[in-house]
């Protein structure tokens, strides 16, 4: 696995080695010892998957402590723009974000640590999106930030975006609940 640092040190791109031949390919997408030593000391407890069509924007979502979650995300089919926003008040990168393209072609993964809001928009006709999380879902701890309250180029015209009612009604970044940068999240 190739580990690539982003502009925000805790958000990491992971490129698995892909072995291809005339039959197709094989790829090792997760290996605990490498992940724990080079990315983050956490244990994933659940895998999730979603299928969405072009223009679907899911996010920006997160859970507050004690149910904060890290996510390791990837695309099985299609292409998305994946975004992680630092919402750790006091962090040198507070309010900044990383946006990368994840696709079935580039096979990249993104690690989104606790203390970050996460979202993605589908850029292909459809996408199957998979993610590992290190804490279970807790409805009373979930929170979100409105997608258009930060200067993010989602690469899809506003008229073509498809959002849930919950995401349309999310608070702006300035009104969101934040993490405390000094708080121990792991």
- How many Å apart are CA 158 and CA 155, to the nearest integer? 9
Residue 85 to residue 100: CA distance in whole angstroms: 12
Nearest Cα to 175, choosing from 57, 28, 60?
60
Q: Is 131 part of the annotated catalytic residue set? A: yes
Beta bridge partners of 132: 47, 72
The catalytically annotated residue of 61, 118, 137, 178 is 61
Q: Name the active-site residue from 62, 97, 118, 131.
A: 131
Does the active-site annotation cover 118? no
Strand-pair category, 179-180 with 88-89:
parallel
* Residues 136/68, Cβ–Cβ less than 8 Å: no
For the annotated catalytic residues, the residue numbers are 61, 131
């Amino acid at each position: 696995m190739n580990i690539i640092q982003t502009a925000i040190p805790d958000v990491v791109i992971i490129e698995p080695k892909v072995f291809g031949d005339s039959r197709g390919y094989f790829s090792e997408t997760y290996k605990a010892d490498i992940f724990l030593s080079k990315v983050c000391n956490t244990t994933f407890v659940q895998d999730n998957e979603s299928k969405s069509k072009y223009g679907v924007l899911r996010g920006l979502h997160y859970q507050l402590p004690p149910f904060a979650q890290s996510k390791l995300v990837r695309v099985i089919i299609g292409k998305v723009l994946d975004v992680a926003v630092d919402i750790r008040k006091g962090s040198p990168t507070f309010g900044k974000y990383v946006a990368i393209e994840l696709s079935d072609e580039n096979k990249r993964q993104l690690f989104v640590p606790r203390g970050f809001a996460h979202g993605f928009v589908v850029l292909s006709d459809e996408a199957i999106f998979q993610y590992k999380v290190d804490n279970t879902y807790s409805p009373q701890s979930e929170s979100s930030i409105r997608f258009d309250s930060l200067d993010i180029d989602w690469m899809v015209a506003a008229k073509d975006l498809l959002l849930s009612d919950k995401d349309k009604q999310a608070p702006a970044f300035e009104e969101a609940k934040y993490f405390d940068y000094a708080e121990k999240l792991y």
